[in-house]
Amino acid sequence: MAEGNDQETIAAMMKAAMFSALGEGEVRDLAGRCAARAYRAGEIIFVSGREADRFFVILSGKVKVFKLSARGDEQILHLYGPGDTFGEAAMWAGIGYPANAAAVTDAKLLAVTRSVLRDAVSRSGDLAFGMLAGMSAKLHEFTRLIEQLSLKAVPARLAEVLLEMSDVAGAATFRLGGTKRQLAARIGTAPETLSRALAKLTAAGCIEVHGSQIRILDRDALARLSQAG
């Protein structure tokens, strides 16, 4: 592990909603008391039930937060990238992590412990407000996820996720950034059902699929489909 006070760390932290109200000097001071660590693709970061004594800031790479069913099926709850944080709600609640987390790609994470953050909050009201903003954003994410998985059919879920990916890429053409199996797990379905949904969107003229590359042909139609039940 190493101290997380290099420029890469500072830039990633200042992208996070939690730290957005802080100046660079305050972020650098906080980062200097935290440890950064590299994870290999597929490496577990924490498991469900483990004591949540810290949360993580993603400096580089991608991380998935997921659940496993009794049969061992994986349900991806969230995919996170540089500047995102995860694990903070469980840490503040003083409970175990409610899900598992693993690196999707090689990743570098900054671990912020409860004791370090408590000390920082006691010295900065701005950080406390930033944390409330970050928690509100996470609550919105979970509310939307519950709605998506419980109320929407698979093509609608897929359409919504593809629109999100396009927004993140800033382009109509983008790569999935993971396997189709991971995409299926993210929208709560089986790989073969995902394939049928991709075929349906392709037949409707909404998208083109070339391996892991997706091109959105009709964004308005895809948006309408994403709102369907």
Mean pLDDT of all residues belonging to the chain: 82
Tally Cβ neighbours within 10 Å of residue 49: 12
Average pLDDT value for residue range 101-123:
88
Range of the domain at 185: 153-226
Average of per-residue pLDDT across 110-136: 76
- Tell me: do 133 and 175 sit in the same domain: no
Judge if 143 and 178 occupy the same domain. Answer: no
> In angstroms, how far is the first alpha carbon of the chain from the final one?
47
* Residue among 132, 90, 82, 76 nearest 110 (CA): 82
DSSP state, residue 96: B
Q: How confident is the model at residue 149 (pLDDT cuts 50, 70, 90)?
A: low
Tens digits of residue pLDDT in 45-96 = 999 999 999 999 999 999 999 888 777 778 788 888 888 889 988 887 788 9
Of 115, 150, 185, which residue constitutes the final position of a domain?
Answer: 150
For the record, the structure tokens of 93 come out as 């609640």
Residue 97 has a pLDDT of 92
Q: Cα separation of 32 and 10, whole Å?
A: 10
Mapping DSSP to helix (H, G, I), strand (E, B) and coil, where does residue 134 land? helix
Using a pLDDT cut of 90, give the percent of the chain over it.
Answer: 25
Domain boundary residue, one of 118, 150, 182: 150
Structure tokens belonging to residue 136 = 């509100």
- Give the Cβ contact number of residue 7 at 10 Å: 9
Q: How many structural domains compose the chain?
A: 2
* Domain co-membership, 29 together with 75: yes
pTM reported for the whole predicted model: 0.62
3-state secondary structure of 216: strand
End residue of a domain, out of 102, 133, 150: 150
Alpha-carbon gap, residue 36 to 9, rounded angstroms? 9
Query: CATH number, domain at 85?
Result: 2.60.120.10
